[in-house]
Amino acid sequence: MPHTVSSFQSSEDVEVSKEFEGETVTRDEPIYVSDETAGTPSTSHSVDNDIEKLGSFEHTTISQPSPKQGSISDDVKRTKPRNFLGNVLENIKGDGSKSPPRVSLVSTVLSGLFSFIGIFSVSFISHHGGAETLVIASFGASAVLIYDSIQSPLAQPRNVVGGQIVSAFVGVSVFKLFNAWGSDSFYEPAASASAVAIAVVCMDLTKTLHPPGGATALIAVIGGSSVTDLGYLYVVYPVGMGVIIMLSIAILLNNLVGTRSYPTFWW
């Protein structure tokens, strides 16, 4: 049975220790070590005799001293960072994974049908109720999530309702703030960018991230007088009412089909 060199070697074995420093050294032939337990400086014994005296002592690894503070470890030396351009190009290449498989034809048809019903319902209520602004462009993006990508965290009720309302509030607030400063060539681009950026931050902070919310915030700034004249009513109507109608339809339709279950969580 091969044995491990003990950490108290004699001077003759220093070269062996250095050669295998940081590793567990196994030798089949006897290796002579000093018998410190017996008090003699250089009494020669085989490894077998030492093991018998040390009882359960079986393996001792001669570890290399840890690198001094400020030095670079071997791992860092072996993995030199790529230059900035190399990192960018490597990231652009992707990780080699493939796109997800195509969904079934039945699921595709159902998603299209449900999207039609959802948007049609909001539009019908809007036109026949005398509220032309009940339908906004961002509802089309919400429809993709709540009628097709129903397992996505971004498509759950908390995100759909919360993300739309938070973004609408941010959009109106940003419009009012910039409008108070006056109107010039810098106003609209800055207001538009600020509305979307702040909406993203607020959705993240409130755990209500819903990508169409970015469009809802933008519409509050560039939607024209039919939107901007609503003020904070925009948050309730059309945004709040419209998204609740669409979500209610999504919950009903998605659960009528045995292969679907929605939502995965409420809050």
181-194 pLDDT, tens digit each: 876 667 889 999 99
Flag whether pLDDT at 111 surpasses 80.
Answer: yes
Query: What does the pLDDT read at residue 238?
Result: 93
Looking at residue 25, what is its pLDDT? Answer: 47
Structure tokens at 129: 């109720």
Find the length of the chain. 267
Q: Of 212, 223, 217, which is closest to residue 235 (Cα–Cα)?
A: 217
Helix residue ranges, H only, 55-186: 74-78, 84-93, 105-128, 138-147, 157-181
What pLDDT is stored for residue 240 in this prediction?
A: 96
Compute how many other C-beta atoms are within 10 angstroms of the C-beta atom of residue 118: 23
* pLDDT computed for residue 21 by the predictor: 47
Return the number of other C-beta atoms located less than 10 Å from residue 43's C-beta: 13
Mean pLDDT for the stretch of residues 243-259: 96
pLDDT of residue 168: 98
Instruction: Give residue-wise pLDDT tens across range 204-242.
Output: 999 999 999 999 999 999 999 989 999 999 999 999 999
Q: Which residue from 21, 129, 114 is spatially nearest to 66, judged by alpha carbons?
A: 21
Q: What is the pLDDT of residues 148-172, one digit of tens each?
A: 999 999 999 999 999 999 999 999 9
Q: What is the CA radius of gyration of the chain?
A: 35
Q: How far apart are the first and last CA of the chain?
A: 63
Query: Mean of the per-residue pLDDT values for the chain?
Result: 79
Task: Give CA–CA dist 192/220, Å, rounded.
Answer: 9
SS3 of the chain? CCEECCCCECHHHHHHHHHCCCCCCEECCCCCECCHHHCCCCCCECHHHHHHHHCCCCCCCCCCCCCCCCCCCHHHHHCCCCCHHHHHHHHHHCCCCCCCCCCCHHHHHHHHHHHHHHHHHHHHHHHHCCCHHHCCCHHHHHHHHHHCCCCCHHHCHHHHHHHHHHHHHHHHHHHHHHHHHCCCCCHHHHHHHHHHHHHHHHHHHCCCCCCHHHHHHHHHHHCCHHHHCCCCHHHHHHHHHHHHHHHHHHHHHHCCCCCCCCCCCCC
Using one digit for the tens of pLDDT, what is the confidence trace for 8-59? 444 444 444 444 444 444 444 454 444 444 444 444 445 455 545 545 444 4
- pLDDT confidence of residue 164: 98
Phi then psi for residue 216, to 5 deg, are -65, -40
